[in-house]
Amino acid sequence: MILHLLRPLHSLSSSTRTFKRALSSKIVPTAAEALKDVAFSGAKICVGGFGCCGIPETLINELARMKHVDGLTAVSNNAGIDGFGLGVLLESGQVKRMISSYVGENKTFEKLYLTGQLEVELTPQGSLAARLYAGGAGIPAFFTPTAAGTVIAKGGFPIKYKGDGSGEVEIESKPREVREFNGREFVMEEAITGDFSIVKAWKGDTRGNLVFRGTARNFNPECAKASKVCIAEVEEIVEAGELGPDEIHLPGIYVKKMILSKDNTKHIEKLTEGADENSGKGIIDGPRGRIVRRAAKEFKDGMYVNLGIGIPTMASNYIPEGVKIELQSENGLLGIGPYPKKGEADADWINAGKETVTTTIGASTFSSSDSFGMVRGGHVDLTILGGLECSRNGDLANWIIPGKMVKGMGGAMDLVGAPGARVVVTMDHISKNGSAKIMEECTLPLTGQQVVDRIITDLCVFDCDKEGGGGLTLVEIAPGVTVEEIRAKTACDFKIASEPLPLMDDA
């Protein structure tokens, strides 16, 4: 049959021509046509994309016009932003429940959730990718180290608040099964499958094979695989055979229907451009500058490093001379380069903080499940991320303030929970109201239990004996700061490594 398909169409038999037409029937003229027999009220829908990057805009906008389709459960890493992406479905009231990892950029989402109008299952980003992958692969459940010891594993997280303004919880999450393997706790996660999926690709051929571009791949392959019916929108449709077999990122077996994308706004959430060398921008002074410069000294030549949003990302501007590292981003990029020059930003190339980036020589892109396979598999040497609270035994809290701040954990739980991971936390030593952020036990919901190796603040550096339970040891101190001041601003005991202590700026 393969040989027959290589012949000119006029030389084929009637039955073979029928077969060829059937293979080409995945192309549908409009989004409305593609969705009309697929979308229904109460459906679970898997939506590709990371932030606003690689989202199926055309299909989302068409769903928003189908007002009779409501009560949806949307499975997506993010919830869009106000007025764009999945944000339009939230505003139209068509979504009943969101299953996501990070929703920090959507004020509508936050309001709906806190007022009891939206059900929310916050799931660690790597676990979400793996659950979708498992759903597409016929794996009912799996065990992961991510979220062990947290509210995600223990249950009790508010999925839905009562709508009377009381702040009381109407639905809370159930405990997950936890087992021990090789002396560590692992959490059971169940696979996710959808009634249908909508995804976005760069190119597609008439057989449904897809090619993604840059970091716009992210969750799209996992979402496509997790449903029996996947509708893909693509920027360019080509004939079968124009894409080489080795070029194809997602085989057409996973794609039921395909449309040409009509809405390609490609909104950039955080347009970030490199500073002119003579502008002086990018230089960080003061207490936070001290944290950034000290964090950069954690880099060792040849390391693969993941940097969190904010101060950790800034540390990449201060890599010590003679040290080469490779930056890994959870959304599917290894080899993050500098910010683009003014006017050269590309919406298909972003980091995990949604900032526009470039790539280094030898960079590679991959899907979200592959990205977190690198993390859980111990292939990332160092993770630096921010914190709201740290405890003396290495617990970290950095993802939510119950009833006030609803952002989600993103990939943080996966990064800190990976076996063998070295985790460095950067943060101000005290909060804006003067309260301690380093304490005996965290008061906020944990990101990870006994996961922190080192804490770098504007006042000092602590090492943490996360495995042995030996608590904190003060190893460096900022110029002009005394041990007595650090004791007064730290709500737990700690040891001192040596006297006199090395200065942070000289370490």
Q: In what order do the strands lie in the sheet with 359-365?
A: 359-365, 333-336, 326-329, 304-307, 382-386, 422-426, 454-456, 460-465, 471-477, 495-496
DSSP conformational letter for 176: P
Tokens found for residue 43? 């459906």
CB atoms within 10 A of CB 480: 8
Say if CB 220 and CB 53 are below 8 A apart.
no
Q: In whole angstroms, what is the distance from residue 56 CA to residue 230 CA?
A: 12
Helix (H, G, I), strand (E, B) or coil at 253: helix
Alpha helices of 253-299 — where are they, by DSSP H? 286-296
Q: In whole angstroms, what is the distance from residue 355 CA to residue 327 CA?
A: 14
- Token pair 């990122």 is at which residue? 249
Tokens found for residue 312? 């950790």
Among residues 496, 457, 504, 500, the alpha carbon closest in space to that of 479 is found at 504
- Catalytic residue annotation: 330
Tokens found for residue 430? 């005290």
Amino acid occupying residue 486 = I
Q: Which residues contact 372 (CB under 8 A, 6 or more apart)?
A: 125, 126, 129, 130, 330, 411, 414
Long-range contacts of 138-144 (CB under 8 A, 24+ apart): 139/191, 140/190, 140/191, 141/188, 141/189, 141/190, 141/191, 142/188, 142/189, 142/191, 143/179, 143/181, 143/186, 143/187, 143/188, 143/189, 144/186, 144/187, 144/189, 144/376, 144/417
Task: State residue 393 phi and psi, 5-degree precision.
Answer: -100, 10
Instruction: Tell how many helices (H) and how many strands (E) occur in the chain.
Output: 14, 28
